[in-house]
Structure 1
Amino acid sequence: MFILRKTFLLILLSTFLFSSMEIMLKLAGSSFNAIQLNFLRFLIGGIFLLPLAIHSIIKKKLKIDRRAIGSFALTGLICVLISMTLFQLAVMYGKASIAAVVFSSNPVFALLFSYLILHETLSRPNLISVVISVLGLLIIMNPFHLTNPLGMILALLSAVTFGFYSIISRKVSQTEHFDGVTITSFTFIFGSLELAVLMALSHLPMVAEVLNQNPLTANFAMIPYFAGINLNTIAMILYLGIGVTGIGFATYFIAMERSDVATASLVFFIKPVLAPIMALIILHEAILLNTWIGIGVIVVGSVVSFVGQRAVTAENTMVHEDYLETIEDEGERADQAIATEVADVKSELDRKEAAVKNKSLSKSINEIDD
């Protein structure tokens, strides 16, 4: 009971931190370059999780070899450099509430990628969840009356690529045997280093000149590393790096390890409702009727997926328990058979020993008579 309560508290904490992510990114966007902000928060988050990762590696007696480095470089590229950069730009060019809702659909895309890449079975509840969630996204995006297509498209691409990252990181976990916190820490660090290389390229005069020629790409020219960090912004950066990115992901993965994927995924089921309300209160972003309807539809799709995953987990548990009971019964029968066989052998030995004693006694009596 205590473990369940502790897991639920971890889920609540990670949900709050994830739900505040878009709002803090929106607020910080006025003081930092979007790419710079992405670099800072994932570098801080990765370093914050590093002691936990090192402890896990030592405990499991694992090694960071060339193959592991390649895996972390790949997950860092997909997660930090591509997915989270797209997400940061979605928050910058669109509404934080819309970005939060659309990004929360990433488990749906993870289901599709798990089917295509890992060849996992796409159950009926999961298939229904995909259809319902896509319908909810279409209602929110309102493709026939798009007012800000760039922000929504960027958020959707971010959700798709993050779903892809989820499956790749799961495959790395299966092959390299690293836990979620370890993969996340090194993913963030490697992704930040890759982002730092990209930022360095933006300082080349020829590259900067080309980027400055277009208003949409001007923000990618001469990207600063640490400019803007002062007494007024340091608390915001630390909250994004340590709180949202470090503690948020750590509590999410610890909750997953204490329970299961379905239970931990409650984070992404609650966030579509909580994040827009927080954006309304703090950023005063108006939430349109179609957005509320789309949120409701996505939540329904998420619930269908959650219930389906819980049912599959329960069924697998029952099958496993039945298997254990069968093994236990077979073991008991084998023990009884061995015990019976041992008793028979012992009885035979006792009979033979008694026969030998009787024979010796008869021989002694005959010798006395003689």
Structure 2
Amino acid sequence: MKKTFLYILISTFMFSSMEIALKSVQGVFSPIQLNLVRFFIGGLILLPIVLKNGKQPLMTKKWKSIGVFLLTGFLCVVVSMTLYQLAIMYDEASTVAVVFSCNPVFALLFAFFILKEKISRLGFISLVISIVGLIIIVNPENLTNPLGLTLALGSALTFGLYGIVSRWGSSVTGMNGLATTCYTFLAGAIELLILVLISNINQVALLMDKLEWLKSFAKTPILHNVSLQYFWILLFICVFVTGGGFAFYFLAMERAGVSIASIVFFIKPGLAPILAMIIIGDKIAINTWIGIVVILIGSVITFIGSQLEQKNAELEE
């Protein structure tokens, strides 16, 4: 059990430092470029662990698996994480961290509408409390620049959707969570690379320049500033945060189950803003502190609910 909690501790720290690490290289790398590099390398870091397992062949149900990974890769890497990167550009790292940590709550809604899973009483209470926490953080009366918050919400929503689609995909491919995540990262990175290459075609770049909302994506670089000067921060983002964070998360899940491993996302809303304040000097307003506490309460309720559901399922078996 000590090893399990060590995995959780490492994963929690990695995930909680994610926004800080990405914020620290803002302006050095294009958001899309950094997304591409970190998920490609992150996927490569996870690949040896997956292959070592021996029970997760690269192409189980070949064509169905390819389709699943293209879909999950698009939702996770191309859409959700691109919105996430952009959110960090326009808002405080601490705010983005808290809003993104609400993705399990959004996953409850998608599970209800897509998988027809019932929302338990505790799940519904958690959902309401988390929404209240978000409203407190947003403070609509004083909201002057909603772009960053909108992007963060979009990232959390689509990541919640990715989680549900990924669960469905695991049943189709027969692969565990770590293998599904690994191939999702690699497929998403390949899709993103194709889009980046298209953005570098002169005719396409000229067209994108004419459209204000696409202008910043024209001629997205691939290896610009990927050098020894930024070696350590790239190593931390790609290997430790992206590859290592997910690896330790799924190792904890395999040893202790989903409910225990999910402690990671319940601690992150409280830890990430504090790290952001200490390391990069993020200012945290009083309403943000209150919202963090409220969201943490909602997360604890979700955790309690998941444990009760797991116990009930074990009793039924």
TM-score (norm 2): 0.96
User: What SS is found at the alignment partner of 1:286?
Assistant: coil
Q: Which amino acid aligns with 2:55?
A: K
User: What SS is found at the alignment partner of 2:227?
Assistant: coil
Identify the match of residue 59 of structure 2 among 35, 44, 63: 63
5 Å matches for 1:291-330?
A: 291-320=288-317
Q: Which amino acid aligns with 1:32?
A: F
Counterpart Cα distance in 1 of 2:277 and 2:310: 37
Counterpart Cα distance in 1 of 2:55 and 2:127: 39
Contact in 1 for aligned 2:17/2:272 (Cα 8 Å): yes
Counterpart Cα distance in 2 of 1:78 and 1:215: 24
Counterpart Cα distance in 2 of 1:314 and 1:76: 33
CA RMSD, 1 decimal: 1.4
Q: Which amino acid aligns with 1:80?
A: V
| Match in the other structure for 1:200 | 197
Identify the match of residue 84 of structure 2 among 62, 84, 87: 87
Whichever of the two has the greater Rg, that structure is: 1
- Does residue 1:106 correspond to 2:103, yes or no? yes
Q: Which amino acid aligns with 2:311?
A: A
What whole-Å deviation, never above 9, does each CA across 1:231-275 have from its counterpart, x for those lacking one? 120111121111011010111112112112221111111111111
| Match in the other structure for 2:146 | 149
| Match in the other structure for 2:235 | 238
5 Å matches for 1:333-352?
A: none
- Counterparts in 2 of 1:44 and 1:143: CA distance versus 1, 3 Å: same
| Match in the other structure for 2:186 | 189
Contact in 2 for aligned 1:173/1:180 (Cα 8 Å): yes
Q: Which amino acid aligns with 2:222?
A: Y
Gaps of 5+ in 1: 321-370
Contact in 1 for aligned 2:43/2:183 (Cα 8 Å): yes
Q: Percent identity?
A: 50
Equivalent pairs counted in the alignment come to 316
| Match in the other structure for 2:222 | 225
Counterpart Cα distance in 2 of 1:186 and 1:133: 31
Cα distance, 1:202 vs structure 2: 1.1
| Match in the other structure for 1:122 | 119
Cα distance, 1:144 vs structure 2: 2.4
Counterpart Cα distance in 2 of 1:129 and 1:139: 15
| Match in the other structure for 1:8 | 5
5 Å matches for 1:204-215?
A: 204-213=201-210
Cα distance, 1:102 vs structure 2: 0.2
User: What SS is found at the alignment partner of 1:233?
Assistant: helix
User: What SS is found at the alignment partner of 2:226?
Assistant: coil
Counterpart Cα distance in 1 of 2:12 and 2:211: 38
Contact in 2 for aligned 1:139/1:294 (Cα 8 Å): yes
Q: Which amino acid aligns with 2:190?
A: L
Counterpart Cα distance in 1 of 2:28 and 2:212: 19
Counterpart Cα distance in 2 of 1:147 and 1:61: 50
Cα distance, 1:212 vs structure 2: 2.9
Counterpart Cα distance in 1 of 2:255 and 2:107: 21
Identify the match of residue 70 of structure 2 among 69, 73, 83: 73
Identify the match of residue 162 of structure 1 among 137, 142, 159: 159
User: What SS is found at the alignment partner of 1:294?
Assistant: helix
Counterpart Cα distance in 2 of 1:60 and 1:49: 12
Gaps of 5+ in 2: none
Question: Which sits farther off after the overlay, 101-110 or 222-231?
Answer: 222-231
Q: Which amino acid aligns with 1:55?
A: K
Cα distance, 1:316 vs structure 2: 2.1
Q: Which amino acid aligns with 2:227?
A: N
Counterpart Cα distance in 1 of 2:39 and 2:316: 41
- Does residue 1:46 correspond to 2:43, yes or no? yes
Q: Which protein, 1 or 2, shows the higher relative CO under an 8 Å CA cutoff with sep ≥ 6?
A: 2
Contact in 1 for aligned 2:45/2:239 (Cα 8 Å): yes
